[in-house]
Amino acid sequence: MNSQPKRILVIDDEADIREIAQLSLEVMMGWYVSTAPPGSVGLEKAIAQVPDLILLDVMMPDMDGPTTRRALLNHPSTCSIPVIFLTAKVHNHQDYANLNLAAVLRKPFDPTLLGGQIIKALGWPVVQAMPVYPQSQAGR
């Protein structure tokens, strides 16, 4: 079994959502989390990093979640990366049937439950992780 920490990419147009998700998953789950704004920056980061999971906002300016997901599906490096949509809107999940999503989670999400929701959606094994503290808190 691979005991390496998971690598997660959070793509969202709201900086506070990116930061909350990052802190939650790093501290509570011990995962490596990077973040990106929407559009080409997010796509380029996904292609360069090939994370284990992408958390992707649905409603974003310029390039929304479904458009981003289609671009990820069309690239050989990212087509098999699981994607979980984050959305504040109530959608019919059938609207996303052709996007091969791992899950759709509601925003605002509970940061204390986010890691468990991801594990459940992807069927990842539960591994007891030592908390990882962000660099800004190291040595305090």
Q: For position 64, what pLDDT does the model report?
A: 93
39 phi-psi bin (left φ>0, alpha ψ -120 to 50, beta other):
left
The class (CATH top level) of 7-121 is: alpha beta
Split at pLDDT 50, 70, 90, the class of 2 is low
What one-character-per-residue DSSP string does 3-18 give? -SPPEEEEE-S-HHHH
For 73-107, letters b (16+ CB in 10 Å) and e give eeeeebeebbbbbbbeeeeeeeebeebebbbbbeb
Split at pLDDT 50, 70, 90, the class of 98 is confident
Q: Give residue limits of the domains in the chain.
A: 7-121
Reported as a single tens digit per residue, the pLDDT across 44-68 is: 999 999 999 999 999 999 899 999 9
Q: How many CB atoms lie within 10 A of CB 36?
A: 19
**Angstrom distance (rounded) from CA 101 to CA 83:** 5
Reported as a single tens digit per residue, the pLDDT across 13-51 is: 999 999 999 999 999 999 999 999 998 999 999 999 999
